[in-house]
Amino acid sequence: MSGIADIAEKVERGERLTLEDGIRLYQCEDLLAVGRLANLVNERINQRKVYFIQNMYINPTNVCEAHCRFCHFRRDPGAEGAYTMSPEEVLAYVRERWTPGIREFHIVGGHNHTVPFEYYVDVVRALKEHYPDVTIKAYTAAEVDFFHRLSGLSVEQVLRRLMDAGVESLPGGGAEILSERYRQKMAVEKASVQQWLEVHRIAHRLGMKTHATMLYGSIETVEERVQHMIYIRELQDETQGFLAFIPLAVQPRFKTSSIKKRTSADDDLRTIAVSRLIVDNVPHIKAYWINIGTKLTQLALYFGSSDVHGTLVEERISHAGGALTEQSLTRDELVWLIKGAGRVPVERDTFYQPIRIY
């Protein structure tokens, strides 16, 4: 099988792959062979089911103390376009965009050091008071580490305060590439590799289920990508707290950016497939349609993905870069997308409990 017959045998026997195996899968010329193996593993875990959620993205502030080179969302305090919504303004934002069926608020934003930690708690509390039946998935591990520094509280104390206000899950952002070389080169002025992992470790210990991302397609090496996946796998061995792993294709600065500044279809599909094969103990690999588009998302369902994310309502962060996709999809469009790929759509809640099978 195109030089990976020994890896295929390991996959068929259910054996764990190594860092070297992951690198070879990236180097394999036969993309379809890699995809077939990933599809085999995914169907063992999820059969032909593909999950999605009706969710709403909320970005309370874009003011940020960090200056990460890949981010086009952040603003300095007082800069043109900078904003910080009060809890009341967040509620107004939700009311204007509300549709019946929304089950999750996905909340991420800038590391705004001009407001106290209590601001972030108040945003969650206001949403929970007005929408008690909606699950709040709020603040990345990098944000939690920032709150720890901002407030002087321990990471565990920060998480407990957020949980008391209504946070039930953490999104996977802030991981970028879990490599200190990458973080130094890309000026990732936030949580280190070990700090990011430790926030999730503590969250899992407190009973929270969380997500993990990987922002690929810039200066990282293939080895760093696979090592990133192994870090997630190792923590999952320890805690069993991750629900999904989400490869995110880095976006260029502008929508007019040339094709050469975007990840290739081969790289997108291969990264999803390798993720499914290496991160063998996390139930779901997500195809993030915002970054790779709806057509490639359909193909990704044959390359190891079992989740197409959600309706979003209004995505801002990738679109602040050069994302070319829509900012939202309806439930019916997601069902059509999944059925169009010959899979079974399953509407879920945050914790992958089925709401409806289509």
Distance separating alpha carbons of residues 283 and 329, to the nearest angstrom: 24
Q: What is the DSSP letter of 53?
A: E
Q: What is the pLDDT of residue 325?
A: 46
Residues in the chain: 358
CA distance 328 to 308: 12
Predicted confidence (pLDDT) at residue 252 exceeds the cutoff of 80: no
Confidence (pTM): 0.93
The confidence score (pLDDT) of residue 338 equals 96
Beta strands in 182-338 (DSSP E): 209-216, 242-249, 284-285, 307-310
Q: Are 56 and 101 contacting, i.e. CB atoms less than 8 angstroms apart?
A: no
Q: Is 120 helix (H, G, I), strand (E, B) or coil?
A: helix
| 327: confidence class by pLDDT, cuts 50, 70, 90 | low
Nearest-CA neighbor of 205 among 235, 173, 244, 245?
Answer: 235
DSSP 286: B
Q: Which of 62, 92, 67, 57 has the alpha carbon at shortest distance from 80?
A: 62
CA angle, 113 as apex, 112 and 119 as ends, to 5°? 70
- Mean pLDDT of all residues belonging to the chain: 93
Q: What is the pLDDT of residue 291?
A: 87
pLDDT digits (tens, 9 = 90+) for 6-21: 999 999 999 999 999 9
Q: What would the pLDDT profile of 344-355 be if each residue is shown by its tens digit?
A: 999 999 999 999
pLDDT above 50 for 137: yes
Order of all β-strands in the sheet with 135-138:
55-58, 104-107, 135-138, 167-170, 209-216, 242-249, 284-285
The predicted-structure confidence for 46-96, as pLDDT tens digits, reads as follows 999 999 999 999 999 999 998 888 888 899 999 999 999 999 999 999 999
Complete domains list, the chain, with CATH = 5-357 (3.20.20.70)
